[in-house]
């Protein structure tokens, strides 16, 4: 089916997109995570894949695409080598291929309209998140009771959120500099940092769609408030990249002076925020952080539920060990095959990380993925006519510092866009 012959989207198309973005990209419900990381609960994937089948039949989507077949062939060959390596066929092989096809389907059905839809969904749900977050600040006991009464899942004490009703996630509390407790806004996601990453991507789409218009841009204002309320180092770090991106594309006289007067104080102010200073001081990789992990492993060695999640740069260093152990093929879809889990401790759970895709899929395959992201980044700048063809690449890579977005439907559509999109549909 040619992308040029797309039908208009109807209510089911919009509802499907909303479900995939909010439920299955936000991953607040544990069942949603099993769409990407199966743990004996394949039934959890039935709902999204059933809805996807209806969508594909409705739009008569054909998968006979030469580039898609090449991508599929490369991945199947990697899976075959993994089977030879570990002598096991993993469920994750099939789900990963399915998610690649989901990403392709997004491009075929929605085209670049999906970026506008994503932005509008994030703005609408950010309004809900901000209102609920304020209630959590003002009447915490009442809000906690309401959220737990409407929650769709009973979360254990070790979870980063306490309750979720799809519209909002009630996060845990963090101690502020005055000794009190201050909640983080997790939006509809399973963790404030992940929600911040999703908000940042919506801000990027807003800027390129509005041609970098800030005045009277209510959507950008709402997203900015939501981002700040997450208290996320990853999110606010990416915000500085968006400041630079904005400066590259706005024609202002005396730009260097404006940069000194406005951008530098804003960036400095971000680093001076109490939670930023505390979190930055914890992320550096050093001998003390490694010793702390080893101590935690010894303390929790008899526990099957508690896990250890290292800070960002410590995790990068540990991912290097995984890469060194298996540079060509990676450890595959099962993290228990990784060097860190098998040789150090199965209790260690590494976050996303820039190197996670390398350690998981090996250097050759991950280089192809990064190269495709770069080509799409350049292609994006031509589609939307802005300066900074490298910005999307840098932004996606920074977001992946903490969370693996590569094979999450919609996000996989971003880096695969240049492969499958033909410029013959106008964005909304």
**How far apart, in whole angstroms, are the C-alpha atoms of residue 321 and residue 315?**
10
Do 244 and 307 belong to one domain?
no
- Residue of 170, 227, 169 whose CA lies nearest to 202: 227
Q: Give the chain's count of helices (H) and strands (E).
A: 20, 4
Helix (H) or strand (E) holding 94: helix 91-110
- Whether 33 and 189 have beta carbons less than 8 Å apart is answered as no
pTM of the model: 0.84
Q: Would residue 34 count as lying in a domain? A: no
Q: Would residue 60 count as lying in a domain? A: no
Do 158 and 249 belong to one domain?
yes
Q: Would residue 421 count as lying in a domain? A: no
Do 156 and 269 belong to one domain?
yes
Do 307 and 188 belong to one domain?
no
Do 292 and 215 belong to one domain?
no
Q: Which two tokens stand for residue 87?
A: 């002598």
Q: What is the pLDDT of residue 81?
A: 94
Going by the DSSP 8-state scheme, the letter that residue 400 receives in this structure is: T
**How far apart, in whole angstroms, are the C-alpha atoms of residue 5 and residue 255?**
44
Q: What is the pLDDT of residue 206?
A: 96
Which residue in the block uniquely carries the two structure tokens 């012959």? 5
Q: What is the pLDDT of residue 94?
A: 82
pLDDT tens digit at each of 428 positions of the chain: 334 344 578 889 999 999 888 888 888 887 777 665 555 455 566 778 888 889 999 988 888 889 999 999 999 999 999 999 988 888 778 878 888 888 899 999 998 999 999 999 999 999 999 999 999 988 888 998 999 999 888 887 777 888 999 999 998 765 444 444 678 899 999 889 899 999 999 999 999 999 998 888 999 999 999 999 998 888 888 898 898 899 888 865 545 555 554 555 544 444 444 444 445 444 444 455 455 555 444 444 444 456 666 666 677 778 888 888 888 998 888 888 888 888 877 777 777 667 888 888 999 999 999 999 999 999 999 999 999 999 999 999 888 877 878 888 889 899 999 999 875 434 43
Q: Would residue 314 count as lying in a domain? A: yes
Do 153 and 276 belong to one domain?
yes
10 Å CB burial of residue 15 (0-12, 13-18, 19+) is exposed
Q: Would residue 73 count as lying in a domain? A: no
Which residue in the block uniquely carries the two structure tokens 């003390």? 288
Task: Supply the DSSP string of 337-374, one letter for each residue.
Answer: GSHIIIII-TTB-----TTHHHHHH-HHHHHHHHHHHH
Handedness of CA 297, 298, 301, 305 (dihedral sign): negative
Q: Which residues contact 163 (CB under 8 A, 6 or more apart)?
A: 144, 147, 148, 150, 151, 153, 155, 169, 170
Write down which residue in 346, 361, 376 finishes a domain.
Answer: 361
Q: What is the pLDDT of residue 15?
A: 92
Q: Would residue 348 count as lying in a domain? A: yes
Do 292 and 271 belong to one domain?
no
Do 292 and 277 belong to one domain?
no
Q: Would residue 50 count as lying in a domain? A: no
- Whether 99 and 412 have beta carbons less than 8 Å apart is answered as yes
Do 308 and 167 belong to one domain?
no
Q: What is the pLDDT of residue 256?
A: 56
∠192-263-384 over CA atoms, to 5°? 75
Do 259 and 295 belong to one domain?
no
Do 184 and 272 belong to one domain?
yes
Do 277 and 294 belong to one domain?
no
- Whether 78 and 362 have beta carbons less than 8 Å apart is answered as yes
Domain count, the chain: 2
Q: Would residue 393 count as lying in a domain? A: no
Write down which residue in 361, 394, 423 finishes a domain.
Answer: 361
Q: What is the pLDDT of residue 38?
A: 52
Count, residues in the chain: 428
Write down which residue in 344, 361, 378 finishes a domain.
Answer: 361
∠386-392-398 over CA atoms, to 5°? 145
Q: Which domain holds residue 348?
A: 288-361
């Amino acid at each position: 089916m040619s992308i040029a012959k797309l039908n208009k989207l109807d209510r089911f198309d919009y509802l499907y997109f909303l479900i995939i973005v909010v439920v299955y990209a936000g991953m607040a419900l544990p069942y949603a995570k099993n769409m990407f990381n199966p743990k004996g609960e394949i039934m959890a994937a039935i709902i999204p894949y059933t809805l996807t089948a209806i969508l594909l039949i409705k739009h008569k989507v054909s998968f006979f695409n030469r580039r898609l077949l090449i991508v599929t062939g490369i991945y199947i060959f990697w899976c075959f080598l993994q089977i030879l390596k570990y002598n096991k066929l993993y469920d994750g092989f099939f789900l990963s291929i399915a998610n690649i096809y989901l990403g392709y389907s997004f491009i075929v059905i929605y085209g670049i309209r999906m970026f506008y839809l994503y932005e509008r969904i994030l703005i609408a749900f950010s309004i809900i998140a901000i209102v609920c977050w304020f209630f959590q600040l003002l009447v915490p006991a009442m809000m906690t009771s309401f959220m737990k009464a409407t929650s769709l899942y009973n979360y254990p004490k070790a979870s980063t959120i306490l309750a979720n009703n799809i519209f909002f996630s009630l996060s845990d509390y963090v101690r502020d500099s005055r000794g009190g407790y201050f909640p983080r806004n997790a939006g509809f996601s399973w963790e404030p940092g992940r929600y911040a990453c999703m908000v940042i991507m919506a801000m990027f789409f807003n800027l390129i769609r509005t041609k970098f218009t800030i005045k009277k841009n209510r959507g950008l204002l709402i997203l900015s408030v939501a981002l700040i309320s997450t208290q996320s180092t990853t999110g606010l770090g990416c915000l500085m990249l968006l400041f630079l991106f904005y400066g590259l594309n706005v024609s202002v006289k005396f730009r260097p002076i404006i940069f000194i007067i406005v951008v530098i104080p804003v960036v400095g102010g971000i680093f001076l925020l109490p939670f930023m200073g505390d979190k930055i001081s914890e992320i550096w990789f050093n001998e003390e952080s490694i010793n702390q992990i080893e101590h935690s492993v010894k303390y929790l060695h008899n526990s099957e539920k508690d896990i250890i999640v290292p800070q960002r740069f410590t995790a990068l260093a540990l991912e290097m060990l995984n890469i060194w152990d298996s540079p060509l093929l990676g450890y595959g879809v099962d993290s228990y095959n990784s060097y860190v889990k098998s040789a150090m401790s199965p209790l260690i759970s590494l976050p996303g990380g820039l190197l996670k895709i390398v350690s998981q899929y090996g250097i050759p395959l991950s280089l192809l993925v990064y190269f495709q992201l770069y080509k799409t980044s350049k292609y994006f700048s031509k589609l939307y006519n802005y300066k900074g063809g490298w910005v999307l690449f840098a932004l996606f890579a920074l977001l992946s510092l903490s969370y693996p977005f590569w094979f999450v439907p919609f996000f996989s559509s971003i880096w695969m866009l240049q492969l499958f999109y033909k410029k013959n549909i106008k964005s909304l």
